[in-house]
Amino acid sequence: MKEVSQVTAAFVDHGGLYLPLALKLGESYKRLLYVDPCEVAFPKVNQAVIGDGFETIERVNSFWPHKKEIDLFIFPDSQGGELQRELSTQGFPVWGSFEAEKLELSREYFHKILKDVGLEVPTFERVKGISGLREHVRDKQEKYIKISKFRGSLETFHWRSWADDSNVLDLWSVRFGGVADKIPFLVFDEIPTDIEIGGDTYNILGQWPNVMCDGTEAKDKGYIGAFKEMRDMPEQTQTVMDAFGPVLGKLGMKNFWSMEIRVTGDKAYFIDSTPRGPLPGTGSQMELYGNLPEIILAGSHGELVDPDPAAFFSAECILTMKGDKELWGSLEVPKPLERWMKLGGACKVDGRLCFPPDDSHAQEIGWLVAIGDSPRETIKKILGYAKELPSGVTAATESLVDILKEIESAKEEGIVMTEQKMPTPAEVVE
């Protein structure tokens, strides 16, 4: 295995989602080829320029012409498992989810595995097509509707009642068109609890590192994490990891791993597995792990390296930028914030970051991240960074209030993130 500084890596991304991770790794590797295939019938400039103009990475349309020069392939998302297996068969070290991608892309497969390993399985029914869904939910309240794989078409939807949400079914009929009655929907019962805990780490062929992030998220808005030893993680999290370690080993997993676990009384429901870089969560790991390039390089060879902590707490908030969704956005990142603004889906032109329009991300451009050795220090830093953001860019720091409340609720149930004193919601607002 080469020294990190001598490694040429190919980083395979889609739409710039993991561009910040590529830029971070590019600071340490000799050369990082940033690949976004952009292989569609009518390619657009918008996607073809993502990753252009940055100093630490080299945008290429394909890694095939460079294959003989590449020492490491990195697939941070839960896609490309078959390609990963082929490259691995050819002898290339690969960081990726391999067959473990199915745990996210097929919800029914994931729930089968839950049953197989003896964990609680959330109650759900499989309903085929919009017509079937209409009849199924007509008299139902407080359900959660999901589909597999096509998260760009439908994210988890909270169904309140027919009176509140029946118009959504009309929208989905239009969205799915001629195949609307072919789509399988999964309708889940509500898990009544205010406590959702999480864990963010990585897995190398079934092996877990000794330290990881104990994280709590406000969905798609914010995140607070504590870097701690695995043995100090909540019992519910350790149970999931003990159960899934052997599964991930068989599936060839060598990638980031994140968990969402809802706790109600003496039961814990592992509701979502993320065999990829979590969002939020990846930004925290990028900064908390002082040796991330070494972790990924060794992991691609099947070797587990523990993180070298750069700090012990992190916080993240989603960043949004004002503007018309059909127009390009542009900003200059202040020097003091270059490390802490994790911006995706962009190219760099004359020192400014330019963001092509993207319907899947709307006005969201990335994450604001802070790390520290105490919760109070970390929250103080991210609130300070938020005040220095460029004009038109805002961070969802208000989401930290809800997270702190959730952490406190979990503590009352004996699930403790840290013994250090957390800031109060009032301190965040102030």
Report the alpha-carbon distance of residue 421 to residue 217 in Å, rounded.
Answer: 19
**Cβ of 189: how many Cβ atoms within 10 Å?**
13
Question: Are 184 and 217 in a shared domain?
Answer: no
254 and 338 together in one domain: yes
Within a domain: 109: no
pLDDT score recorded for residue 175: 95
108 occurs within a structural domain: no
Rounded (10°) CA dihedral 337, 342, 343, 348: 60
Q: Is residue 116 part of a domain?
A: no
DSSP 29: S
- In a shared domain, residues 152 and 208: no
Is 115 a domain residue?
A: no
Residue ranges for the chain with pLDDT beneath 70: 359-362, 430
Taking only the tens place, the pLDDT of each residue in 130-174 is: 999 999 999 999 999 999 988 888 889 999 999 999 999 999 999
Of the residues 159, 189, 219, which one is the last residue of a structural domain?
189
Question: The tokens of 284 are what?
Answer: 């925290």
In a domain, 111, yes or no: no
Q: Are residues 171 and 27 in the same domain?
A: no
| pLDDT reported for residue 360 | 62
Say if 113 falls within a structural domain: no
Note down the domain range covering 93.
Answer: 4-99
Q: Give the integer Cα–Cα distance in Å for 24 and 410.
A: 33
CATH number at residue 89: 3.40.50.720
Cβ–Cβ < 8 Å for 365, 393: yes
Query: Does 73 share its domain with 157?
Result: no
Terminal-to-terminal C-alpha distance of the chain: 50
User: Are 222 and 251 members of one domain?
Assistant: yes
Same domain, residue pair 395 and 319? yes
Residue 422, sorted as left (phi over 0), alpha (psi -120 to 50) or beta, turns out to be beta
Q: What is the pLDDT of residue 326?
A: 82
- Counting the structural domains of the chain, the total is 3
> What's the pLDDT at 60?
95
* pLDDT in the model for residue 427: 84
240 and 178 share one domain: no
- Based on the fold, state whether residues 222 and 347 are members of the same structural domain: yes
State how far the Cα of 302 lies from the Cα of 204, in Å rounded to an integer. 6
